[in-house]
Structure 1
């Protein structure tokens, strides 16, 4: 998914050294809609977080970052984080949306996780979701599906559509290798309808009720401030924040940092036909495995 949004300066919060030992160009993102061909707080508290100063590094694609530093190493740019992954939707499968990914090559390039678009609104299902999910599973990539939330439709109905598609693909969000399902919040308004916090909460509550896990929320501080009144009610979820470049994303209101950081939409990753979105995880692989019910 991509957000066409202006960037905001932020402060990065990283796992403390003790937690690490224990746990073993700014740019605007682009809207990817259907029409265009641990709970977070508890999880971050368990890791332990501390503020560090930002530094400037080159913002390149995940495959071009060079040898990865250990999780939480000095430096605020994406290359300071060892655990990397991509996200994808139908439009990443070439100009005609007909090119399959080489999942063995993707896994071999050093990716640890993948987020796949599953649904949008109350009726759209991404045509590549089932095949990409099967591909990610076949090579042992930690994985999840995401739902693009539309401002003009009922939140509970959108959640039910999302959950139906996940169920069809035998995805529960709690099986080994599965990250919690993801809610993608990047649309402030559609067809004269503004994004409503009540509808967002209804979606999150239904997914939590059915799966027994708190969904990951993908968004950006601007969306929460400008579209959701600066609510602090999302800070209890794992968060996946977008900010393209070398400066980490600003935490959500009431939050302490980020769990995943989408830092580019121009990563060159073996096994994909073009450029894709790339993200880093805020801790080490052991922590990611725990979030994915593997530890």
Structure 2
């Protein structure tokens, strides 16, 4: 994910150029369930054909990576993350094509909100897609102010899955080039996390990127669930021995119902683990 930017479009013939192996893997995974219900990707999903599918797997990647044996198609539960730059979304079509959850941008810093957040969370809910609002962190505004802004703009009714904080460097920012030291990053993060958890009664999820995690978060926040970006390899190679609940594996996804490139993610467990996770965290 990134801060405010121009939308990226993909060529009209992109769906015809999708990797057949990826599409086949996604279809197989969504048709089955795991022999293991563990999270974190340490025991990848092994599919069978005995479980009802969440939807029909008809999404793919315009620029697929070769993940080898640990490709994301081994996981049966896939989702998207979106902001206003996706424009109008046909959430019913998104759901019908195998997408089970959505992270959606709600706020940024201490004074910006996403223009489509309210529309997205209502429409996603109507389509039966569970969702979580995320906050894009801004390093030039105190964490307490950012938490207050998130709380002021994100109704409790919109928080189905736990709230999310998006922690990454943003070198393209026209107004904030600040890179605090790791101790400051972590202490400010904790202020935001604590305030948001108190308000919504749910422990937030931490989204992060490879470089930001390496420089600031590695070995910390062990009591939190992580959503990790890793578009070149499985997270176990990029974040060794690090627990994860969600994996963002591409920013060039092709999802019917969304015009242009889409970020696609997987949940790190079986369909049964997903149902159990929802009962625990999305009530």
TM-score, normalization: structure 2? 0.73
Alignment correspondent of 2:231: 244
Q: Is the 8 A contact 1:251 1:257 kept in 2?
A: no
Q: CA deviation at 1:182?
A: 0.5
Q: Is the 8 A contact 1:61 1:268 kept in 2?
A: no
Q: Is the 8 A contact 1:59 1:77 kept in 2?
A: no
Q: Partners of 1:200 and 1:183 in 2: how far apart?
A: 9
Alignment of 1:1-295 (within 5 A): 1=1, 32-34=2-4, 36=6, 65-68=26-29, 69-71=32-34, 72-74=44-46, 75-93=69-87, 100-167=88-155, 170-171=157-158, 173=159, 178-187=160-169, 190-194=176-180, 196-226=185-215, 228=216, 230-248=217-235, 250=237, 256-293=242-279
Q: CA deviation at 1:286?
A: 3.2
- Once the two structures are superposed, residues 76-132 of structure 1 have per-residue CA deviations (whole angstroms, 9 ceiling, x without a partner) of 110110000101011122xxxxxx111110000011100000000001110011111
Q: CA deviation at 1:217?
A: 0.4
Aligned residue pairs, count: 230
Gaps of 5+ in 1: 2-31, 38-57, 94-99
Moved more, 238-247 or 104-113: 238-247
The structure carrying a bigger helix percent of its residues is 2
Give the aligned CA root-mean-square deviation in angstroms.
Answer: 2.6
Q: Give the ranges of 4+ consecutive aligned residues of structure 1 lying more than 6 Å apart after TM superposition.
A: 58-64
Q: Partners of 1:102 and 1:124 in 2: how far apart?
A: 25
Q: CA deviation at 1:287?
A: 2.6
Cα gap change, 1:129/1:221 in structure 2, threshold over 3 Å: closer, same or farther?
same
